[in-house]
């Protein structure tokens, strides 16, 4: 997709995210949000919105074949880490991953049940299992990433919500 289209759709997804989760749910104390790359739904506006609402934001840092949450602060210095994905230079860990109440993840494809195809390494599946079981799992995706069915295995973790530029898919089991 051309960048302009990605930005326009990302803006719609950002608005839908804000309208769905603020102020309708009790705001999480801490959230985990991916830092978007070129082709993904952009997340910076969502991250800033969370920070403006007093929510601690953590982003992924890939180290030793696993995702670790590290603190993101506005304007913090970033550098390219594993897979050339940007991550904060300073690696400030949360006291415990259990403090993360909301998780925003990217993906390749999703179905309406909340099944997710990731990047083929199961990193997010492994990470999501470390969190509180009732943490809210939100995927951001473009409508063309929604497909009829994706294969799922027992280790795959399902999403509670998928937000696209056209709709919010409630996949159920959400708190």
Ligand X SMILES: Nc1ncnc2c1ncn2[C@@H]1O[C@H](COP(=O)(O)OP(=O)(O)O)[C@@H](O)[C@H]1O
User: How many residues of this chain bind Mg ion (CB under 5 A)?
Assistant: 3
Which residue is closest to Mg ion by CB?
156
* Tokens standing for residue 94: 């949360």
Q: DSSP letter at 53?
A: T
- Window 106-125: residues binding ligand X (CB under 6 A): 117-122, 125
156 binds Mg ion (CB under 5 A): yes
* Segment interacting with Mg ion (CB under 5 A) among 19-27, 43-51, 79-87, 118-126: 118-126
Strand partners, 143: none
125 binds Mg ion (CB under 5 A): yes
End-to-end CA distance of the chain: 34
Question: Please, is 32 exposed, middle or buried when counting C-beta atoms within 10 Å of its C-beta (0-12, 13-18, 19+)?
Answer: buried
Q: Which residue, 55 or 116, has its beta carbon nearer to ligand X?
A: 116
Give how far Cα 73 sits from Cα of 52, 113, 121, Å.
Answer: 11, 33, 28
Q: Which residue, 130 or 156, has its beta carbon nearer to Mg ion?
A: 156
Which residue is closest to ligand X by CB?
122
Contact 159, 137 (CB under 8 A): yes
Which residues lie near ligand X (CB under 6 A)?
A: 117-122, 125-126, 129, 155-156
């Amino acid at each position: 997709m051309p960048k302009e289209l990605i930005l326009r759709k990302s803006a719609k997804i950002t608005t839908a995210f804000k309208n769905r989760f603020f102020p309708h749910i009790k705001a999480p104390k801490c959230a985990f949000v991916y830092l978007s790359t070129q082709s993904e739904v952009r997340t910076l506006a969502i991250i800033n919105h969370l920070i403006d609402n007093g929510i601690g934001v953590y982003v992924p840092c890939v180290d030793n074949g696993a995702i670790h949450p590290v603190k993101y602060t506005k304007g913090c210095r970033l550098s390219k880490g594993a897979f050339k994905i940007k991550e904060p230079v300073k690696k400030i860990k949360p006291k415990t991953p259990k403090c993360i109440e909301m998780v925003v993840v990217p993906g390749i494809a999703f179905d309406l049940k909340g099944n997710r195809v990731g990047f083929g390494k199961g990193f997010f599946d492994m990470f999501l299992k470390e969190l509180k079981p009732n943490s809210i799992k939100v995927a951001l995706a473009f409508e063309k990433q929604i497909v009829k069915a994706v294969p799922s295995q027992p280790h795959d973790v399902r999403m509670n919500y998928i937000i696209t530029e056209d709709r919010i898919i409630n996949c159920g089991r959400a708190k």
